[in-house]
């Protein structure tokens, strides 16, 4: 009945279990010494999220919340955090690989108790996954362990191919020998050992279908690259993998998205992190990531300084009218500190003036070879990107 146990996984388990144990011992000590038990946890709120201009990422501020068992307003959250920590600890020592959804189920039950007047009452540990997910995040910030380090799995959609090898779960995998398919990145990217990088840069593509196109013409082989897609809004594992490639292997990272506020936001998540996960930016974000395109100046040109990549006629056929939602989002982006550079202000200004957007696929429809062997390499060569 025993499952094979992977050595790398086992080490990660032991480490995480030990840290959880240490961190929560304090609570037990409080109880034993008669003190009201409490947890001091950094606040995961928008108000306590700020942009650190030096690091170039979103970080948590200094505000903390004190969760006390004997405080009516905090008792429920206190119990939830402790419950979640104990379930995760249990899963770690029992060689389990829970998903965030089954952590919800593992902890879901009804507590029946009698109140001060002796009346029978009941309460559920949590009602929705939103609550159990928040408890997971509390455990993450309290212990400093990412959920990936606690061997918690979740749905992943990132893919990679390119000139490198990795070791994962005891296997050595050559990412340059994936055929027309790709390697689907695992939930625990820190357990991947990066073995052999024979590449000069990383190209992150927003869209899966465009990733497949570039893969078919072996873009990554010709230009010595690692090709990655997060298939839209990237998950944590994809961001962490990109981060590792940049910081551990010194590879510049280029991001290719649609030319619209949604694409810019996706770039921004790779670059500085996201608000809900600001406590993880340090490990997930890649501030030096370069926005390769498609830029508004690629589409419309820029005065006499830059000729557009599209003809008048192509623009007419390819451009999509921006929606109100796009305009609102663009105005929001304009306020983000990391977009306070002339190039980004220009991008957003052109968008707001033209009220037009463009998809990468429009570039591919000029010919896949145009996209793969002209547009992308020439932009990289000439340094035509935005940081």
Nearest residue to 158 via CA among 122, 134, 187: 187
Q: How far is the CB of 21 from a second copy (least distance, A)?
A: 21
CB 145 within 8 A of CB 88: no
335-to-260, 323, 338, 352 alpha-carbon distances in Å: 16, 19, 9, 14
For position 310 contacting a second copy by CB under 8 A, the verdict is no
For position 362 contacting a second copy by CB under 8 A, the verdict is yes
Q: Which is nearer to a second copy, 160 or 251 (CB)?
A: 160
- Between CA 233 and CA 271, with CA 361 as vertex, the angle to 5 degrees is 35
User: Within 218-257, which residues bind a second copy (CB under 8 A)?
Assistant: 218, 221-222, 231
Binding a second copy (rule: CB under 8 A), the pick from 80, 81, 132, 213 is 213
Nearest residue to 185 via CA among 162, 160, 205: 160
Q: How far is the CB of 94 from a second copy (least distance, A)?
A: 8
Q: Which of 89, 97, 105, 247 is catalytic?
A: 105
Q: Which is nearer to a second copy, 79 or 100 (CB)?
A: 100
Q: Pseudo-torsion of CA 282, 285, 286, 292, nearest 10°?
A: -160
Q: How far is the CB of 196 from a second copy (least distance, A)?
A: 15
Q: Which SS3 state, helix, strand or coil, does residue 68 take?
A: strand
Max CA separation in the chain (angstroms): 82
Nearest residue to 155 via CA among 236, 229, 209, 95: 236
User: Within 90-109, which residues bind a second copy (CB under 8 A)?
Assistant: 94, 96-106, 108-109
CA–CA separation, 181 and 216 (whole Å): 9
- Examine the residue annotation and report whether 105 is marked as an active-site residue of this protein: yes
User: Within 178-197, which residues bind a second copy (CB under 8 A)?
Assistant: 178-188, 191-192
Stretch that binds a second copy, among 43-51, 171-179, 195-203, 272-280 (CB under 8 A): 171-179
User: Within 331-360, which residues bind a second copy (CB under 8 A)?
Assistant: 359
- Pattern of binders to a second copy over 130-169, x per CB under 8 A? -----------------------xxxxx-x------xxxx
Cα 132 from chain centre: 20
Q: Applying CB under 8 A, what is the total number of residues that bind a second copy?
A: 74
Tokens 């830029």, located at residue = 295
Binding a second copy (rule: CB under 8 A), the pick from 44, 77, 147, 207 is 207
């Amino acid at each position: 009945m025993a499952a094979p146990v992977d050595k790398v996984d086992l080490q990660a388990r032991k480490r995480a279990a030990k840290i959880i144990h240490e961190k929560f011992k304090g609570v037990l000590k409080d109880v034993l010494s008669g003190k009201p038990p409490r947890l001091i946890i950094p606040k995961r709120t928008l108000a306590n999220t700020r942009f650190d201009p030096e690091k170039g990422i979103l970080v948590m501020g200094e505000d903390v919340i004190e969760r006390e068992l004997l405080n009516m307003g905090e008792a429920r959250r206190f119990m939830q955090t402790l419950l979640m920590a104990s379930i995760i600890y249990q899963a770690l020592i029992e060689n389990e690989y829970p998903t965030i959804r089954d952590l919800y189920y593992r902890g879901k039950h009804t507590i029946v108790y009698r109140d001060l007047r002796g009346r029978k009452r009941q309460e559920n540990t949590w009602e929705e996954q939103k609550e159990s997910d928040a408890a997971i995040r509390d455990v993450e910030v309290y212990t400093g362990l990412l959920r990936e380090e606690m061997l918690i799995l979740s749905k992943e959609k990132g893919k990679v191919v390119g000139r490198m090898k990795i070791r994962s779960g005891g296997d050595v995998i050559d990412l340059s020998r994936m055929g027309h398919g790709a390697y689907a990145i695992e939930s625990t990217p820190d357990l991947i050992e990066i073995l052999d990088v024979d590449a000069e840069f990383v190209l992150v593509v927003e869209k899966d279908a465009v990733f497949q196109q570039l893969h078919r013409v072996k873009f990554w082989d010709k230009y010595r690259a690692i090709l990655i897609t997060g298939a839209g809004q990237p998950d944590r594992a994809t961001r962490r993998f990109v981060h590792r490639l940049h910081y551990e292997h010194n590879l510049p990272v280029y991001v290719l998205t649609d030319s619209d506020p949604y694409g810019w936001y996706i770039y921004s998540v790779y670059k500085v992190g996201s608000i809900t996960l600001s406590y993880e930016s340090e490990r997930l974000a890649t501030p030096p990531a370069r926005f390769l395109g498609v830029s508004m100046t690629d589409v419309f040109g820029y005065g006499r300084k830059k000729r557009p990549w599209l003809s008048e006629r192509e623009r007419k056929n390819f451009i999509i009218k921006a929606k109100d939602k796009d305009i609102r989002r663009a105005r929001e982006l304009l306020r983000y500190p990391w977009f306070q550079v002339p190039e980004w202000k220009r991008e957003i200004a052109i968008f707001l003036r033209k009220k037009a957007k463009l998809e990468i696929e429009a570039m591919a429809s000029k010919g896949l070879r145009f996209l793969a062997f002209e547009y992308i390499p020439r932009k990289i060569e000439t340094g035509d990107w935005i940081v």
